[in-house]
Amino acid sequence: MERPQITREFLAAVPKTDLHLHLDGSVRLATLIELSREAKVKLPSDTEAGLRELVFKDTYADLVEYLAGFGLTGKVMQTREQLERISYELAVDNQREGVRYVEVRFAPQLHAHGAFDMVEVLQAVSDGLERAKREFNAREQVRAQQEPPFEFGIIACAMRFFNERFSDYYRDFVSLHRYSHPDRNYSLASEQVVQAAAIARRERGLPVVGVDLAGPEEGYPPADHRDAYLEAQRNFLQKTVHAGEAYGPESIFQAITELHADRIGHGTSLLNPDAVRDPAILDKQRYVDELTQFIADRRVTLEVCLTSNQQTNPAYRRLEDHPFGEMMRRKLSVTICTDNRTVSNTTVTDELLKAVTTFGLSLRQLKNLIVYGFKRSFFPGLYAEKRIYVRSAMEYFERLQLQHFPDLDG
């Protein structure tokens, strides 16, 4: 039988996840413009088209240009009301394209100041997401269990590197620890983020499901944050790490073995022996093969962001050169994510369509890709509840599959 054509319509309809989704990279442009006016923040343009031309582009020269937009969005994410609104709108945008589970990640320390501490920041974001969840799940189809509900988790991001200009929190932190060794400061700051996440979860019952480590990889190895990740483990928080995006496979290995990462953000250098930098590794091909097997055996999931990688790494301008295809061939646990919906001008549907059309995924491969997103999520409920939720999502997928491909056997 001829392979069925997977359409955008089908991809938009099926239940999806986004496990690597930065809040500050996913602010609606209309909201950014409105909030900037209220906060008297000067933007390069006061129109969405102008911002798309000048800042939030389809293609970027380099990572520095890609990150420029975050300097603008962060300025309108400094109050409870701003964070609640932006979080609410992000959830709604996901719901409109069939995304049923999101894990929203952000660095609460970039938005904390004065009495508005990190726990309060986490509370504000949770409140916005919760409102969108409550409204969506009140729909008749969801209440009748004809469709899976919308759920979410929150991931608190620590930073590999920072200075006093990053935020009020970091200004105060650097002033307090100005005579300490910088590496130790990075670890101490990460521990404070983890502790805030643990308090928000334990004392307030917020769905803070895990921690992340973001920022420049070169010169700022994961091992510097070992104590923070041990603190996360002691508090039963799950762990993901940006690794192998701007450094070699050694960064991925260290994230897994030193920080006990459950998932890896990006991981694009995993299969590239030429990216290995450690001179002690003589057989680079063997190293990446063994590391890949190590990851496969432990089902460590790779959070792949195709468009973002295209925009920040010239090696993937031609998407066919992205390692996602080889990851699939090696049957690694992979999930497709957006990274930043606004900065990368993308959606989960867009990302899946790119994966399907560029790498020739079959319907079965697509289904496996989507189920990994649900199964490898840091779902905030009990494991038994997660199993039921995953099953409901995949049953809904199968019903839509029958509607779109009625002549398909099996």
Is 360 part of a structural domain of the chain? yes
pLDDT of residue 183: 66
pLDDT digits (tens, 9 = 90+) for 346-370: 999 999 999 999 999 999 999 999 9
Is 261 part of a structural domain of the chain? yes
Q: How many domains, the chain?
A: 1
Among the listed residues 97, 3, 51, 48, the one whose alpha carbon sits nearest the alpha carbon of residue 405: 3
pLDDT digits (tens, 9 = 90+) for 222-236: 999 999 999 999 999
Token couple for 9 = 């319509």
pLDDT of residue 179: 64
Is 386 part of a structural domain of the chain? yes
Write the CATH number for 283: 3.20.20.140
Residue whose entry in the numeric block shows the structure tokens 């969405």: 48
Is 215 part of a structural domain of the chain? yes
Is 66 part of a structural domain of the chain? no
pLDDT of residue 410: 47
Active-site entry in 245, 250, 303, 351: 245
pLDDT of residue 257: 97
- Give the pLDDT mean for 183-192: 87
pLDDT of residue 101: 98
Is 38 part of a structural domain of the chain? no
Among the listed residues 341, 384, 397, 360, the one whose alpha carbon sits nearest the alpha carbon of residue 56: 341
pLDDT digits (tens, 9 = 90+) for 45-100: 999 999 999 999 988 987 788 988 999 999 999 999 999 999 999 999 999 999 99
CB atoms within 10 A of CB 177: 14
- Give the pLDDT mean for 11-31: 98
**Residue pair 62/311 in contact by the 8 Å Cβ criterion:** no
Is residue 245 part of the annotated active site? The answer reads yes
Is 380 part of a structural domain of the chain? yes
Provide the domain limits for residue 269.
8-27+77-404
pLDDT digits (tens, 9 = 90+) for 291-308: 999 999 999 999 999 999
Is 177 part of a structural domain of the chain? yes
> Measured between alpha carbons, how far is 188 from 170 in angstroms, rounded to an integer?
12
